[in-house]
Amino acid sequence: HAGMLPAFLARLHPKHRTPTNAILVMGLLSAIAPFFGRPALVWLVVAGGLGIVIAYLFVALSFVVLRRREPELHRPFRVRHGKTVGALSVLLSIALIGLYLPGSPSALSMAEWGIFAVWMLLGLAFYAWSRRRYGVAYSDTMMRRELEGESSSG
């Protein structure tokens, strides 16, 4: 809805509201991956792990920022000691990212850094494409509608 993906990939299932085509594309890529052998699977899993930790960092940062900027926001799920939980989540995710850096026992290999770089560049390309095509105001409006539950399913 926010225009962050091409319409083909952003299409939502009418009942489940999941991005069906994006899931099918990722499923197809996942089904092809084993044919590249065990080393390629390890590279994909490890590079993907770094992506997951970075995504978690952004979730934790969003948690902290929203607690500060929107203290009265309705929250159906309550977290005791929210400031502490948020700060620890940010610090621990940064520590986990440090485990992937050169010099640590679980540092990424050059192949894994390459996969991670390609994935990041692809994400940045989609981001730039959406900003150029729709602009910032469109994304902000659509995200606001989605958060308020006014979005259509299609």
Q: pTM of the prediction?
A: 0.71
Provide the pLDDT confidence category of residue 39 given band limits of 50, 70 and 90.
Answer: confident
The candidate with the shortest Cα–Cα distance to 89, out of 100, 101, 81, 99, is 81
Contacts of 73 (CB under 8 A, 6+ apart): 66
CB 21 within 8 A of CB 68: no
The 10s digit of each residue's pLDDT in 74-121 is 788 888 888 899 999 999 999 999 999 999 988 999 999 999 999 999
Q: Is residue 154 predicted with pLDDT exceeding 50? A: no
C-alpha to C-alpha distance for 133 and 127, rounded to whole angstroms: 10
Kindly list the domain boundaries of the chain, sorted by start residue. 1-36+109-149, 39-108
CA distance 32 to 37: 10
